[in-house]
Amino acid sequence: MATNTGTYDIASLLSFRQETAATFGLDTIAEVLAADLAAWNQTVTEMVSEMAEVTTDRQRVYGTSHAGEMQEVDEYGKASTQKAEVGDTVGFPLRLMQYNLGWTAKYLQVATPADLAAQQIAAQDAHWRRIQKEIKRAIYGASNYTFRDHLIDNVELNIKRFLNADGAGVPNGPNGEVFDPDTHTHYDAVNGVTANALTAAINDVIEHGHGGAVKVGINKADESAVRALSGFVAYPDPRLVYRASDTPGQTLDISRLDNRAIGIFGGAEIWVKSWVLDNYYFIWDSMDTNKPLAFRQRTQETLQGLRLAASNIDYPLYVDFMEAEFGLGVWTRTNGLVLYVGGSSYTSPTIA
């Protein structure tokens, strides 16, 4: 008689809806859930990598450059001393997030493996929604703030935003461009999107040397306005039949209406993104190694990612919460610009 071989996975647990977790085997369930969590955390790392560098650093020095000049002298002359400025410190917050489970010993006497699997999946969904929320908070807030690192040692960290005319030094551009740190900002505002305004916003990112793969993230509600701009080139719909003389190229993604590239404008690729707020376009270079954000985690690997917060390591399923400790802050202050098209002055949105 043939026997089935293989290992249990989260889908297997979801199929067990009759017997209790205790009967099925708590050790087996713990192994399956742990493997699924490991896979989930790897997926999260891959998903945030387009926007953020995953790190354990809590602060760094964001480099700047000095607008010095070579001076002409005669053979006895000596140029005046020019002092190069050092960079400013940028910090990254670390926050503790919880999802209540309540897996007590009594609960596990009656719960099924499917119950436990469903709750972990729900926690993972909540984890990703919270990450998206923190990404939006990091991007759209225009004012710097101080964060007390209360989970570590209560040191105060300076959380910077994208360039916001705060007087901190701005690195020179790739062609020697010099930017006034007291006026230069990457939080622009216009009354209604225009081709000129979007072009200027894209150029504000490119002039800092970010030009490898510039993307413009927009909300689904802004798609029709962007498509109407002069100079926008839409990706063709693959459901249509084109002539033999047409040039093949990238086609429109029809699988997700709120997460897809829809065309090209000014050399930048226009993306509809579910996390982008209505009227708040976000522009960044997705291929630059200097990512717009930093995704901070604990230095201890066992405390990274979403995890079961068990008080007794011998009984990993006796838990009240699933926890994740992370935080997002701006790292490369030049590689990101928000274009607000709902008014003449920038207004930081309220993100509940």
CA 187, CA 171: separation in Å to the nearest integer?
A: 17
Residue 221 domain flag: yes
pLDDT value at position 23? Answer: 85
Output the average pLDDT for the chain: 87
pLDDT tens per residue across span 161-213: 999 999 998 998 988 888 999 999 999 999 999 999 999 999 999 999 999 99
Q: How many domains does the chain have?
A: 1
Average pLDDT over residues 27-55: 92
Classify residue 18: in a domain, yes or no.
yes
Render pLDDT for 123-145 as a digit per residue (tens, 0 to 9).
999 999 999 999 999 999 999 99
> How many C-beta atoms lie closer than 10 Å to residue 7's C-beta?
9
299 occurs within a structural domain: yes
Give the per-residue pLDDT at 213: 94
pLDDT of residue 301: 92
Q: Residue 238, SS3?
A: coil
Q: Is residue 158 part of a domain?
A: yes
Q: Tell whether the model's pLDDT for residue 17 goes beyond 70.
A: yes
Within-domain flag for 192: yes
Q: Where are the alpha helices (DSSP H) in the chain?
A: 10-15, 21-24, 26-48, 105-110, 113-140, 195-206, 223-227
Q: Is residue 348 part of a domain?
A: no
**Structural domain includes residue 77:** no
- Whether 74 maps to a domain, the answer reads no
pLDDT in tens, 62-96: 876 555 566 676 766 676 655 556 568 999 999 99
- Tell me the pLDDT tens digit for each residue of 247-268: 555 666 544 556 789 999 999 9
**Helices (H) then strands (E): counts for the chain:** 7, 16
Q: Looking at per-residue confidence, does 183 or 24 come out higher?
A: 183
Tell me the residue range of the domain where 14 lies.
10-62+85-242+249-340
pLDDT of residue 86: 58
